[in-house]
Amino acid sequence: MDNPDPILPETIARLYRSLYRVRRIEERVAAIYPTDRIKSPVHLSIGQEAVAVGICDLLRADDIVSGTYRGHATYLAKGGDPKAMLAEMFGKVGGCARGKGGSMHLVGLDQGILGCSAVVGTNVPVAAGYALALKRRRRGQVVAVFYGDGASEEGCVYETLNFAALHKLPILFVCENNFFAIHEPLHRRWAADQLTERVATFGMPAKRITSGDIFEIRDAASGLIAAMREGGGPAFLECHTYRWREHVGPAEDYAAGYRSRADMEDWERRDQVARLAALLPDAERQQIDAEIEAEIEAAVAYAEASPFPAAEELHAHVFA
Amino acid sequence: MSSPDTVVSTATRSLRYVDALREAVAQEMQRDDDVFCFGLDVDDHKAIQGSTQGLLEAFGPERCFTTPLSEDAMTGVAIGAAMAGMRPIHVHIRMDFLMLCMNQLVNMAAKAHYMYGGSVKVPMVVRSMIGKSWGQGAQHSQGLHAMFMHVPGLKVVAPSNAYDAKGCMIAAIRDDNPVIFMEHRLLYPIEAPVPEEPFTVAFGRARHMRRGSDITIVGISNMAVECLRAASLLEEVGLSVDLIDPVSLVPLDMETIIASVARTRRLLVVDNAWVSAGAGAEIAAQVAEQLGGSGPLSIRRMGFAPTTCPTTPALEAHFYPNPLTIAKTAHALAGGSAGWEPDPERARLAYQQAFKGPF
């Protein structure tokens, strides 16, 4: 997996399946949301799928990812179970956190998914701690930690970059730069648009990818991850991307005035879901689509059928 | 001073509190490869006042290492390593520095097991030391345990003698939850009999330091020692003190405290912290809830003055409860005659030997 050949048809099919799964689950979540059956704020990944899918395609089953409150794509791309995800958002006991975490705290240790965090930046040092443990175990495992441009402003993220470089931890830092912290644009938050250059000064490879191209993201990560498995230490990728829907909730918000629809349309023209769909033979694509749609139906049905936790569950899990 | 009378140990060996801490960590690191000890200066020549002495030599730099001054992220690193199955001990030379760790401790360590539906455990120990005297001042003297007691998911322990220091440390390392381990600088040189072999002191079991019938005194952390001295002053006027050291604050053994107050009907809680919204308030409230209305009940709290801790000894002397003020308060609470003062010579001897710097 560390020597990707993007032109292989099976690579395209595998990436498309993962992209389409995230996109369609998110669209389904958005469709269900107005019914109030989802008992959780949702921060949709629509538009941002290619970053998580491109990176996770390079990870082994025993590698680890760490995501944010906008973590649906991370969770699904690393092999998270859509049933457990939907049930979690419905507040059901069959959820990945037994209904106690919701959309912002998806988790799946069996699939190598560290719990997502809703306090911006908080997952980054935790992921580095996991990487410290992996380094000690010497099995060539790595961690990929995802965070947004907002988190890049948190002190603990800079502290972590320094520590990871100092200890040569096997961790790939992936900044999903969608240009907004909630509704605040970069130019109100950054004096200099040189995040990647700043990170490089900690002493690790750092690269910016502005295209949103899943193959470019995957290619860039591939060599970094391969080196990391050999003890090469951490690396950083800044991936430009775009959130198509509102910060939290199922709707679009271009009428709010803080960003323009034209910006979204520019990203929509580069949509990786549509792009990869067009690269596949029709019959193959239709089969993948049908399989994903069936997966989603099964996930929603599972979430509907799963019971709410019993009242005693309130007091369970305060202490291990 | 004498050892706490109910520190039941057949050990003939006496050990200082600081050495008990060191021995506990070393024995656990020997037993379990997943235990490691990190924090600023744990591997330097002073070794956190000796409490981490020898760990680097015995276990190497992968298991005993310093950190950048990045307490926030380093706490996250401990949490992540713990989630991966390791057992980190994160050391802070002063408790005040835990304020830099609050986000990770409160929002992640305390909550991970619950908010991830029980699928994740965070077995970590956060060691920190409270300073006192020799100008420790505003930012080297705080007892901040109440902040941690407030948050479900954190255990909080504050051993006051060498025996409990060792037993609690081993229990904390083996615990599957984050444990805030509160030490006190002035306790470091105090000796008690401590067994050489590893042992645990279970959390949630208070320790009777003296048995008595007239008044219940609960002393927290270093104040347990000050209360012991106060109790000896009170003995002279025939007041017998039931002195309880909670040892662990979360879980808190209210059963022992309530059983004692049910007999004495008088409670004085002396905390090594501010009174407002503190551990003493919690203990007093639970006693009042349980025993209020079932007979006479007198409750007082003592703790730091409601000020920032000053450095000058002229003011600092009035900032802390001491054996004299504790004894006078207890005496009044027990209905003693107003204006009672212990014998001045005895009171002088009861004072804790002041720490003589530099740190």
- CA B76/CA A131 separation, integer angstroms: 12
Q: Which residues of A touch B85 (CB under 8 A)?
A: 133
Query: Which are the catalytic amino acids of B?
Result: 71, 140
Whether A320 sits inside 8 A of B75 (CB atoms) is: no
Q: Does A115 touch chain B (CB under 8 A)?
A: yes
**pTM for the model:** 0.95
pLDDT for B359 equals 55
Please report the domains of chain B, with CATH numbers, ordered by start residue: 19-193 (3.40.50.970), 207-350 (3.40.50.920)
Residue A174 tokens, joined? 């992936």
**Cross-chain Cβ contact A114/B81 below 8 Å:** no
B292 pLDDT higher than 50: yes
Q: Does any CB of chain A come closer than 8 Å to the CB of residue B61?
A: no
Cβ-defined contact of B121 to A163 (cutoff 8 Å): no
pLDDT higher than threshold 90 for residue B56: yes
CB contact under 8 A, A156 and B73: yes
* DSSP H/E element including B318: helix B313-319
pLDDT at B235: 92
Whether B77 contacts chain A with CB within 8 A: yes
d(CA A311, CA A308): 9
pLDDT interval class at B352 (50, 70, 90): low
Q: Is the pLDDT of residue B5 over 60?
A: no
Query: Would you say residue B357 has pLDDT above 80?
Result: no
Which residue of A lies nearest to B63 if distances are taken between CA atoms?
A136
At residue B11, the pLDDT reads: 75
Q: Indicate the DSSP class of residue A97.
A: T
Q: Does B151 touch chain A (CB under 8 A)?
A: no
Q: Which residue of A has its CA nearest to B72?
A: A156
Query: Do the strands B241-245 and B215-219 form a parallel or antiparallel pair, or are they unpaired?
Result: parallel
The CATH class for the domain spanning A9-302 reads: alpha beta
Chain A residue with CA closest to B179: the answer is A319
B76 vs A: CB within 8 A: yes
Residue B47 to chain A, least CA–CA distance (Å):
21
Count of Cβ atoms closer than 10 Å to residue B313 Cβ: 11
Q: Give the closest-approach CA distance of B353 to chain A in angstroms.
A: 39
Q: Contacts of residue A319 in chain B, CB cutoff 8 Å?
A: 113, 153, 155, 176-177
> In B, which residues are within 8 Å of A316 by CB distance?
118
Give the pLDDT score at B55. Answer: 97
Chain B nearest-CA distance from A115, in A, is: 7
Q: How far apart are CA B290 and CA A57, in angstroms?
A: 59
Q: What was the pLDDT predicted at B8?
A: 54
More confident: B335 or A305: A305
Q: What is the DSSP string of B19-67?
A: HHHHHHHHHHHHH-TTEEEESTTTTSSSTTTTTTTTHHHHH-TTTEE--
* Alpha carbon distance A262, A312 (integer Å): 51
Model confidence at B344: pLDDT above 80: no
Q: What is the pLDDT of residue A239?
A: 98
- Output B358 or A280, whichever has higher pLDDT: A280
Q: What is the DSSP string of B101-120?
A: GHIIIIIIITTHHHHTTTS-
Which residues are B132's β-sheet partners? none
- A173 CA: distance to closest CA in chain B (Å): 15
- In order, the DSSP letters of B149-200 are HTSTT-EEE---SHHHHHHHHHHHHH-SS-EEEEEEGGGTT-EEE--SS---
Residues B27-53: tens digit of each pLDDT: 999 999 999 999 999 999 999 999 999
* Mean per-residue pLDDT over chain B, rounded: 93
Q: What is the pLDDT along chain A (320 residues), one digit of tens a residue?
A: 455 555 799 999 999 999 999 999 999 999 999 999 998 899 999 999 999 999 999 999 999 999 999 999 999 999 999 999 999 999 999 999 999 999 999 999 999 999 999 999 999 999 999 999 999 999 999 999 999 999 999 999 999 999 999 999 999 999 999 999 999 999 999 999 999 999 999 999 999 999 999 999 999 999 999 999 999 999 999 999 999 999 999 999 999 999 999 999 999 999 999 999 999 999 999 999 999 999 999 999 999 999 999 999 999 999 99
Percent of chain B scoring above 90 in pLDDT: 88
CB contact under 8 A, B108 and A155: no
For chain A, the domains span 9-302
pLDDT band at residue B358 using 50, 70 and 90 as cut-offs: low
- Which run of H or E residues covers position A140? none
> Residue A14 — left, alpha, or beta (φ > 0 → left; ψ -120 to 50 → alpha)?
alpha
Q: Which helix (H) or strand (E) holds A228?
A: helix A214-229
Instruction: Name which of A99, A125, A319 is nearest B76 (Cβ-Cβ).
Output: A125
pLDDT recorded at residue B351: 67
